[in-house]
Amino acid sequence: MEPLRIGILGAARIAGRAIAEPARLTGARLVAVAARDRDRAEAFAAEHGVERVHASYDDVLADPEVEAIYNPLANALHGPWNLKAIAAGKHVLTEKPSASNASEAALVRDAAAERGVAVMEGFHYLFHPVTRRLHELLAKGELGELQHVETTMVMPPPPENDPRWSLPLAGGALMDVGCYALHAQRSVAPWAGGAPRLVSARAGERKRLPGVDEWLNADLEFPNGATGAVRTSMGAETLDFSCKIIGTRGEAFAPSFVLPHNDDRVIVTTKEDHWVEQLGRKSSYTYQLEAFAAHLRNGAPLPTDADDAVATMQLIDEAYLAAGLSPRPTLAS
């Protein structure tokens, strides 16, 4: 399979973990990178073997050897630069969430469809054997009928000047970590009669930052009567990125479903038995890049495509409104 030829927008810290290391492991080419600070881009390129450094993001998009863009910019810059990449005819692997709100996500989806390029939203956890096993337990009926799903994404606070606390940059706990919790709820729809609907949401604003959620909790309901509980925070004392699935015959718990390279356990308890499975510490970002390549080269299905991104953003917007906050604004041009 011909290696993917990737251009990177920015030298964000996550880019090393989310694209550079997976590219090395999968044989993808890191063709180009640009950053607001050229020195940072030069350092990133030297560390990760990027072939060349460009003066601007636009130059990366104009590079004829680049076929796909990785976008790790601040949330509010996802939509605008995803749209620019699409207009340049590039496929897009974007960090989550794909846009600031559902309306902008729909613009990205429609633009990609018109241009004939792929957009993949970076919900990397979905491709790891930990989450695949959770879904397999449901699919095989080992847990019985689905009754309840708990997804928890809480972490200690980032620094006060971090973009994740900026409303204009589409920050907030739900946007940064909570989107994983909502997406994971949506991912069990095949075993719950369909997609969940939001029942209620509650949130607390970060001190001195009106409109920016430090925490947000939400309740959901599935068509088959199963319920979902989402807990998300960027003000917790400790990190907890866990998922629990409860059925009529038993339950399964993944202590670190979003960071399975740290803890790859799935703990299963049924009426008859109790056991622990370890599914491997290979990075979920590597599985994600393999899935992206399989889609672009072989037409393999892409579950986290632009349609999926719109559905997730709709649920995020609904949760903000139900909690008495506003959806994140589109970045002013």
Per-residue pLDDT, 20:
98
Closest among 174, 78, 180 to 126, alpha carbons compared? 180
Mean pLDDT to the nearest integer, 43-49: 97
The catalytic position among 96, 140, 271, 282 is: 96
CA distances from 148 to 97, 222, 293 (A): 25, 9, 34
Closest among 32, 125, 106, 113 to 70, alpha carbons compared? 32
Strands 240-247 and 146-154: antiparallel
Mean pLDDT to the nearest integer, 6-28: 96
Q: Tell me the Ramachandran region of residue 163: left when phi exceeds 0, alpha when psi lies from -120 to 50, beta otherwise.
A: alpha
Residue 71: strand pairing partners: 94
Domains located in the chain, CATH noted = 5-124+288-305 (3.40.50.720), 125-281+313-323 (3.30.360.10)
- Name the token pair of 9: 């927008």
User: What is the identity of the amino acid at 85?
Assistant: A
CB 107, CB 114: distance < 8 Å = no
Per-residue pLDDT, 333:
55
Mean pLDDT to the nearest integer, 72-89: 98
**What residues contact residue 136 under an 8 Å CB cut-off, 6+ apart?**
none
CB 98, CB 194: distance < 8 Å = no
Q: What is the pLDDT of residues 119-131, one digit of tens each?
A: 999 999 999 999 9
Q: Is the pLDDT of residue 332 over 90?
A: no
Alpha-carbon distance of 276 to 191, in angstroms, equals 23
- Name the token pair of 140: 């095989």
Query: pLDDT above 90 covers what percent of the chain?
Result: 98
Per-residue pLDDT, 270:
96
Active site residue 96: yes
- Please give the full DSSP string across 58-106, using - where no structure is assigned: HHHHH-TT--EEEE-S-HHHHHHHHHHHHHTT-EEEEPSSSSSSHHHHH
**Residue position matching structure tokens 């989806």:** 109
Q: What is the pLDDT of residues 196-253, one digit of tens each?
A: 999 999 999 999 999 999 999 999 999 999 999 999 999 999 999 999 999 999 999 9
Per-residue pLDDT, 13:
87
Mean pLDDT to the nearest integer, 142-149: 98
Q: Is the pLDDT of residue 151 over 70?
A: yes
- Please give the full DSSP string across 5-40, using - where no structure is assigned: EEEEE---HHHIIIIIHHHHHHT-EEEEEE-SSHHH
Q: Is the pLDDT of residue 144 over 80?
A: yes
Q: How many C-beta atoms surround the C-beta of residue 12 within 10 A?
A: 21
Alpha-carbon distance of 154 to 178, in angstroms, equals 8
Per-residue pLDDT, 1:
82
Q: From start to end of the chain, where are the E strands?
A: 5-9, 29-34, 52-53, 68-71, 91-94, 119-121, 146-154, 197-206, 209-221, 227-233, 240-247, 250-254, 265-270, 274-278
Alpha-carbon distance of 65 to 209, in angstroms, equals 43
Mean pLDDT to the nearest integer, 282-311: 98
Q: What is the pLDDT of residues 89-126, one digit of tens each?
A: 999 999 999 999 999 999 999 999 999 999 999 999 99
CB 98, CB 71: distance < 8 Å = no
Alpha-carbon distance of 283 to 128, in angstroms, equals 8
CB 175, CB 75: distance < 8 Å = yes
Q: Is the pLDDT of residue 30 over 60?
A: yes
Q: What is the pTM of this model?
A: 0.97
